[in-house]
Amino acid sequence: MPVQKPRPETREGLFQGREYTANFTWDGLTINFWEMSVRIPYTAIDHTTKVTVRVELSPPGTRHQNVFTVRAGKNDPASRLELRVTGRTPDGDEFVAYPRSNGLKALLPVNSLVEWLESPDEEICQEG
């Protein structure tokens, strides 16, 4: 099944930060992002607010210090991606989290995400 890409107008929004609704559980939160679930083990979050997810890419050939996909190899585009999640605690203080994925399941979607983020802003020709 091919990875669904968000609408083109969200590309810049991902670099600047885009708001998402998080699903709260007893041990943290989960954000549905780019066809995957991003988990943050953080319990002191205001359940009435949304979180902002921002992406950052390190230069080509450089592994990001806050890499999201920990098991990405040095040649995987995913090794360059950081996810930065911000939100508010119940006291109104801002929190910042850098979630990580230790599994291989996120590798393909994140590789696709990085390739999409770096693709030219051209219209995609559609068959039909």
What are the structural domain ranges in the chain? 17-118
Q: Do residues 121 and 8 lie in contact, with contact meaning Cβ atoms separated by under 8 Å? A: yes
Non-local (6+) Cβ contacts of 91 within 8 A are none
In terms of residues, how long is the chain? 128
Note down pLDDT in tens along the chain; length 128 residues: 444 454 444 788 889 998 888 887 777 788 888 778 888 876 566 665 688 999 999 999 999 999 999 999 999 999 999 999 998 877 888 889 999 999 888 999 999 999 999 887 644 433 33
The pLDDT tens digits of the residues spanning 84-110 come to 999 887 788 888 999 999 988 899 999
Which residue type does 49 have? T
Query: What pTM value is reported for the model?
Result: 0.80
Percent of the chain with pLDDT over 90: 39
Distances (CA, A) of 113 to 3, 25, 49, 62, 104: 9, 26, 26, 17, 15
Non-local (6+) Cβ contacts of 64 within 8 A are 56, 57, 58, 79, 80, 81, 82
Distances (CA, A) of 74 to 10, 36, 80, 97, 107: 27, 22, 9, 23, 12
